């Protein structure tokens, strides 16, 4: 900052001071407007979805499968079941690997290695999900056909960096005194991790999982490759492709039929409610976990 600027604070009444004060206030106003704009966009999208989706919600929307071609009515029961199963399997694949990775990074890896792994996780998180779809399609779908498991594998790759990174953050919050306490009692490192560190940070791990599940439940790109040709019925066999809520929205959003569009809105309302609720709960829990762990210091 230049030294020639008026040394007296801006309580003075000079024209220059007034101008500087006015610029400052204008900029602060613009920043506030920007924040309001983001909130307005969020409410606009949620409002649109709620207003158009709510009228189509009914019990039968949740208990019927998708209507046959050119027939109205129908629901998203098969999509809900498919999304639950596929994200469930993906979670079962991603959570153990992600948590172990975080443990390795915080407890065992020498600093250069853990820095490299952290970087690799960020890079993996940055790979476009459509590319992960292309990858899984070539690896698991070509020659074998589509399946819910293939979709889950793709979703698990998307979830892995999210879970590993936030678990690691929580593990790092665990105070050194707890770690040293475990060691001082003669426990091995492994025992300390399993009986002291993990129980302390379980809340954070659950939070990370919720956020990652919310993200995976809304993913469409990998589903296009892995689970887009399915029977119009509730499928529970994971070796078969299944309907899913995001894919249903995707196909129906491009349909010219008004009833399809209405169904897309209703399905979007269901999806957005679950995803936003998961994100909010995850976020609030993570604030709480952080506070709890900090209290143990």
Question: Which residues pair with residue 74 across a beta bridge?
Answer: 66
Residue 60: alpha-carbon gap to chain centroid:
29
Residue 52, number of CB atoms within 10 A of its CB: 16
139 binds another protein, rule: CB under 8 A: yes
SS3 call for 168: helix
Q: Kindly state the smallest distance separating residue 234's Cβ from another protein, in Å.
A: 21
Q: Kindly state the smallest distance separating residue 5's Cβ from another protein, in Å.
A: 6
- If the CB atoms of residues 85 and 245 are measured against another protein, the closer one turns out to be 245
Binding segment (CB under 8 A) for another protein, from list 57-65, 71-79, 81-89, 280-288: 280-288
Q: What are phi and psi of 240, to 5 degrees?
A: -105, 150
54 binds another protein, rule: CB under 8 A: no
15 binds another protein, rule: CB under 8 A: no
Give the Cα separation of 125 and 288 in Å (integer). Answer: 25
- If the CB atoms of residues 125 and 236 are measured against another protein, the closer one turns out to be 125
End-to-end CA distance of the chain: 41
- Residues between 242 and 261 with contacts to another protein, criterion CB under 8 A: 246, 249-250, 253-254, 261
Give the Cα separation of 6 and 123 in Å (integer). Answer: 48
294 binds another protein, rule: CB under 8 A: no
34 binds another protein, rule: CB under 8 A: yes
- If the CB atoms of residues 5 and 70 are measured against another protein, the closer one turns out to be 5
DSSP assigned state of 55: G
Give the Cα separation of 274 and 74 in Å (integer). Answer: 21
39 binds another protein, rule: CB under 8 A: yes
Q: Kindly state the smallest distance separating residue 140's Cβ from another protein, in Å.
A: 10
Q: What are phi and psi of 144, to 5 degrees?
A: -110, -25
One character per residue 61-90, x = contact with another protein (rule: CB under 8 A): ------------------------------
- If the CB atoms of residues 189 and 297 are measured against another protein, the closer one turns out to be 189
| Cβ(125)–Cβ(208) below 8 Å | no
Give the Cα separation of 249 and 265 in Å (integer). Answer: 8
| Cβ(275)–Cβ(218) below 8 Å | yes
- If the CB atoms of residues 58 and 188 are measured against another protein, the closer one turns out to be 188
Alpha carbons within 13 angstroms on the beta-carbon side of residue 238 total: 13
- Residues between 85 and 114 with contacts to another protein, criterion CB under 8 A: 96-98, 100-101, 103-105, 107-109
Q: What are phi and psi of 74, to 5 degrees?
A: 85, 170
- If the CB atoms of residues 54 and 236 are measured against another protein, the closer one turns out to be 54
SS3 call for 232: coil
134 binds another protein, rule: CB under 8 A: yes
Binding segment (CB under 8 A) for another protein, from list 56-64, 173-181, 199-207, 275-283: 275-283
Q: Kindly state the smallest distance separating residue 295's Cβ from another protein, in Å.
A: 19
- If the CB atoms of residues 44 and 236 are measured against another protein, the closer one turns out to be 44
């Amino acid at each position: 900052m230049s030294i020639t600027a008026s040394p007296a604070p801006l309580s003075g009444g000079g024209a220059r001071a007034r101008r500087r004060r006015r610029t400052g206030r204008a900029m602060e106003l613009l920043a506030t407007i920007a924040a309001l704009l983001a909130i307005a966009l969020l409410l606009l999208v949620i409002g649109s979805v709620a207003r158009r989706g709510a009228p189509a919600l009914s019990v039968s929307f949740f208990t019927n499968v998708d209507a046959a071609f050119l027939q109205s009515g129908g629901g998203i029961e098969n999509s809900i079941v498919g999304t639950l199963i596929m994200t469930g399997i993906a979670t079962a694949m991603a959570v153990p690997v992600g948590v172990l990775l975080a443990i390795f990074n915080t407890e065992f890896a020498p600093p250069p290695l853990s820095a490299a792994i952290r970087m690799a996780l960020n890079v993996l998180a940055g790979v476009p999900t459509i590319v992960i779809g292309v990858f899984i399609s070539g690896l698991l779908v070509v020659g074998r056909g589509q399946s819910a498991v293939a979709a889950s594998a793709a979703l698990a790759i998307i979830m892995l960096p999210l879970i590993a990174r936030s678990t690691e953050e929580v593990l790092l919050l665990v105070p050194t005194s707890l770690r040293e306490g475990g060691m001082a009692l003669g426990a091995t490192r492994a025992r300390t991790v399993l009986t002291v560190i993990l129980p302390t940070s379980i809340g954070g791990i659950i939070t990370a999982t919720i956020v990652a599940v919310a993200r995976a439940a809304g993913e469409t790109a990998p589903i296009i490759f892995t689970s887009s040709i399915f029977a119009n019925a509730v499928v529970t066999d994971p070796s078969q492709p299944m309907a899913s809520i995001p894919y249903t929205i995707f196909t129906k959003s491009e349909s010219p039929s008004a009833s399809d569009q209405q169904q897309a809105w209703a399905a979007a309302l269901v999806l957005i409610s679950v995803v936003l609720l998961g994100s909010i709960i995850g976020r609030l829990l993570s604030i709480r976990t952080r506070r709890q762990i900090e209290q143990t210091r």
